[in-house]
Structure 1
Amino acid sequence: MLAGSDPYQYQPGFGNHFSSEALEGALPVGQNTPQVCPYGLYAEQLSGTAFTVGRSGNQRSWLYRIRPSAVHRPFEPYSRGAHGVVGTFDAAASVATPTQIRWLPFPIPDGADVDFVDGMRTIGGAGDTALKNGLAVHIYTATTSMGRRAFCNSDGDLLIVPQQGRLAITTEFGPIMAAPNEIVVIQRGMRFSVALPDGPSRGYILEVFDGHFELPDLGPIGANGLANPRDFQTPTASYEFTSDEWEIVNKYQGELFSARQDHSPFDVVAWHGNYAPYKYDLACFAAINSVSFDHVDPSIFTVLTCKSAHPGTAVADFVIFPPRYEVQQRTFRPPYFHRNCMSEFMGLIHGEYEAKKGGFLPGGASLHSMMTPHGPDARTVELATSRELVPGRVADGTQAFMFESMFQLRLTRWAAEHTQRDHSYYKAWEAIPATFDPTRKVQ
């Protein structure tokens, strides 16, 4: 059992230097690596950036644990059967297509015990984990808790979006409870285990191979708006002191490896630093929108971004379309038809997305590749062009999101050939009529 602070207590703030101890006095005073740590603990640093990164960008935490994490037997290739994660996206192992793609809800296994690790499947991505360049999009479907198994991703940061069922996540930094309409970010190298308090669970994962997620710059918005730093929550220290057999599953270069150890990996009694997992409630997002005319670009709904080396572009943006008011005058209010230089993977947590009146369902997904045209379906166009433009609410009871990237994504064959792929998706636009009339001028 976890000992120390009460479960699911959090520290507010994004990017802060946090301190947390489950036993009073467990944090050393005055230095990070005393000859003998309090309570006979061992000091261990977890670095999320290179040692020589400038102070403003340096991310690391000190963990004070019962046994060093190096105490385990050698890693061996994962032996529980073929896994579904991918770390490279070359032509031999993946599929490229500019076609608009939609998947119906990914099924949760029926009658099988599948945990978070074994239920993870890669949908697509770009780049190579070994080169620390690119990203991947995954889906997870799980029916059972991980038990005495922990997962560690050496390839990148994971942004987890639960869609069905809460996730009780035990991390080295403390426990996190994540419900649908919340997100959790667990960075590279952090060990965690997932339990399912509500039974079968499903959700989405965005993985970035380089850099870390951060809050987007606000520019002309000013100091306030979008996601506020104080609404992010980081766990407080709790620890397990056991001699049970544990399995550590490590994702390394897109492959899974397994090691055994005779103690819990969650034996951190105290920690301090700015490299820690966190969660965020999407209901806290302060939406910004037009109050005059025209539809603002979807970038205005960015919650987190992982910036690229090119200013103004991103390895990945996490964007949401939350409940809000729309008041634009003389404006086609749904998302406009567009082609752009980003890849857009969309998912739906609950409700009905405002630009699609059927087929795009919770637990499903869509992919609109770079420069592939897309936009609202025929029914949405019909309603939007005939409605009275009075102030009104949109997206109540709905939460759609988007993983957006400057990279061109390739699909795994699993995703491209999945039985839930909706091959009739193109029909969403077939019924849009040509209303052009050169004799009729509308002001």
Structure 2
Amino acid sequence: MDYQTGFLNHFATEAVEGALPEGRNSPQRPAFGLYAEQFSSSAFTAPRAENRRSWLYRMRPTTEHGAFTPYAGAARFVAADASHTTPNRLRWDPLPMPAGEVDFVDGMVTYGGNGGPSEGGIGIHLYAASKSMENRAFQNSDGEMLIAPQQGTLLVTTELGRMDVPPGHICVIPKGMRFRVELTDGPARGYVCENYGAPFRLPDLGPIGANGLANPRDFEAPVAWFEDREEDFEIVQKFNGSMWTTTIGWSPFDVVGWHGNSVPCRYDLAKFNTIGTVSYDHPDPSIFTVLTSPSDTPGMANCDFVIFPPRWMVGEDTFRPPWFHRNVMSEFMGLIHGEYDAKEGGGFEPGGASLHNQFNGHGPDVDSTAKAMAVDLKPHKIDNTLAFMFESRAIIQTTDFAMNGGLLQGDYDACWSGFPKARLP
């Protein structure tokens, strides 16, 4: 599958030669009788550096559809509320695969979130799917979607083209763009961050300099691809926290050519250039930030997407696992594969999750702490692991499913039980 490389580049691509106009965005008569349609994921008057929009040349305009009506499915794709939220540290077993045939949309379940489509914030969802989406597309008008597969490769078809997204990769779908998820190698499971705030972007590098963390060249956008199918397609839309549906008589993936910078993209997390200390002290997790959604307060992100990939640990006279911590930010963690170095005693499994809300103490468990304090500090490679974190400045409210759905571990606090008291002279 072909891709264009770069982050927020202005791309131009056509599946049929001559589909794109020369020199004009919206000519009176586009080639082949196509319709020119602008897709804007920022306000028209946003500063040039922040402005995101693409011109689409499609076989039919998206205006042609009947009224949306309430969607009967997706009862677990809901908003979180304070009535189920506690200050407790929480950890969940992996989401089981569905017993019957369930696709990506109906297999999504909300664990928590904050804010909403009108005020910013995030929604956090996990999905478990056993079949591909067939003759249907999903449109999230509430937020941008970052999808992180944990098991099973996804073929994500968007209005602008297709992307293969295996575990170890992520993809980002712009707010409002229609897409379809097909399963290419069996049942699939993973994590979704629904971003209601400023679109994800690469973090500034500051004193790191020009090179490090995620490189723009490693992000891949699809090339134009379309299907000409005359049959019923369901459009499922998430709008203002609720799910809606309508039906059209053709494939919504009929964009023959497009140009612009509001685009879906994928990224291989193995290409992240990890930065770490070569002297002493465990560095802050902010150096592992892949993408950030900034807020109106500098340094306080609406959401940071942070990963903990394979890396060398070489610090001298240093406690190398993450230190004990109480944080103004709230942290939701997931595990793609392997073992997280601060929780080596089990319980945090691939496909599982944990939540440490703001100012509630967390850190390595008793066994990991004792091991780290006693080990002979030689250079050590943390390998065969990939954990991540959705970090947000606001409390992550939990849902009824998260608290009462049968996956919450009742003994999570026990991993911090039994620290020996310090011995003073």
Decide: shared fold, TM above 0.5. Answer: yes
| Pairwise CA distance, 1:431 | 2.6
2:169 equivalent in structure 1: 182
| Pairwise CA distance, 1:418 | 2.0
Q: Within 5 Å, which residues of 2 pair with 1:390-405?
A: 390-394=378-382, 396-405=383-392
Q: Within 5 Å, which residues of 2 pair with 1:304-319?
A: 304-319=291-306
- Which of residues 51, 54, 57 in structure 1 aligns to 2:47? 54
Separation (CA, whole Å) in 1 of partners of 2:359 and 2:194 = 23
Residue 302 (1) aligns with residue 289 (2): yes
| Pairwise CA distance, 1:84 | 1.4
2:90 equivalent in structure 1: 101
1:126 equivalent in structure 2: 114
Query: Which secondary structure state, in structure 2, belongs to the residue aligned with residue 415 of structure 1?
Result: helix
Q: Within 5 Å, which residues of 2 pair with 1:1-20?
A: 8-20=1-13
| Pairwise CA distance, 1:363 | 0.4
| Pairwise CA distance, 1:95 | 1.4
- Which of residues 193, 206, 228 in structure 2 aligns to 1:219? 206
- Which amino acid is the alignment partner of residue 105 of structure 2? V
Separation (CA, whole Å) in 2 of partners of 1:332 and 1:82 = 45
2:270 equivalent in structure 1: 283
Separation (CA, whole Å) in 1 of partners of 2:85 and 2:20 = 51
Separation (CA, whole Å) in 1 of partners of 2:26 and 2:119 = 30
| Pairwise CA distance, 1:128 | 2.2
- Which of residues 215, 218, 234 in structure 2 aligns to 1:231? 218
2:318 equivalent in structure 1: 331
Query: Which secondary structure state, in structure 2, belongs to the residue aligned with residue 14 of structure 1?
Result: coil
- Which of residues 233, 253, 257 in structure 1 aligns to 2:244? 257
Deviations 1:241-300 (A, max 9, x none): 111110000000111100100010000000000000000000000000000000100001
| Pairwise CA distance, 1:82 | 5.0
Separation (CA, whole Å) in 2 of partners of 1:19 and 1:330 = 52
Cα 1:175/1:70, change in 2 over 3 Å:
same
- Which amino acid is the alignment partner of residue 345 of structure 1? F
CA contact (8 A) 2:81 2:399 kept: no
Relative to structure 2, which stretch is displaced further, 366-375 or 376-385?
376-385
- Which amino acid is the alignment partner of residue 397 of structure 2? R
Separation (CA, whole Å) in 2 of partners of 1:437 and 1:410 = 39
- Which amino acid is the alignment partner of residue 361 of structure 2? P
Separation (CA, whole Å) in 2 of partners of 1:342 and 1:82 = 30
1:3 equivalent in structure 2: none
- Which amino acid is the alignment partner of residue 42 of structure 1? Y
Percent of pairs identical after alignment?
Answer: 54
Separation (CA, whole Å) in 1 of partners of 2:105 and 2:12 = 30
Residue 414 (1) aligns with residue 407 (2): no
- Which of residues 358, 372, 380 in structure 1 aligns to 2:360? 372
Residue 203 (1) aligns with residue 196 (2): no
- Taking structure 1 as the reference length, the TM-score comes to 0.94
Query: Which secondary structure state, in structure 1, belongs to the residue aligned with residue 150 of structure 2?
Result: strand
CA contact (8 A) 2:74 2:108 kept: no
Deviations 1:316-345 (A, max 9, x none): 000000101010011100000000100000
Deviations 1:115-149 (A, max 9, x none): 000001110011122x2421110001100000101
- Which amino acid is the alignment partner of residue 209 of structure 1? Y
| Pairwise CA distance, 1:420 | 1.2
Separation (CA, whole Å) in 1 of partners of 2:336 and 2:163 = 19
Separation (CA, whole Å) in 2 of partners of 1:313 and 1:403 = 13
CA contact (8 A) 1:233 1:278 kept: yes
1:34 equivalent in structure 2: 27
- Which amino acid is the alignment partner of residue 373 of structure 2? T
Deviations 1:51-84 (A, max 9, x none): 11111111000000000011112111112x3521
> For structure 1, which runs of at least 5 residues remain unmatched after alignment?
1-7
Q: CA RMSD in A?
A: 0.9
- Which amino acid is the alignment partner of residue 96 of structure 1? T
How many residues matched?
A: 424
Q: Which runs of 4+ in 1 moved over 2 A?
A: none
Query: Which secondary structure state, in structure 2, belongs to the residue aligned with residue 258 of structure 1?
Result: strand
Separation (CA, whole Å) in 1 of partners of 2:52 and 2:339 = 39
> For structure 2, which runs of at least 5 residues remain unmatched after alignment?
none
1:437 equivalent in structure 2: 423
CA contact (8 A) 1:317 1:403 kept: yes
CA contact (8 A) 2:282 2:322 kept: yes
Q: Within 5 Å, which residues of 2 pair with 1:90-169?
A: 90-91=81-82, 94-110=83-99, 112-129=100-117, 131-169=118-156
Separation (CA, whole Å) in 1 of partners of 2:335 and 2:361 = 20
CA contact (8 A) 2:160 2:255 kept: yes
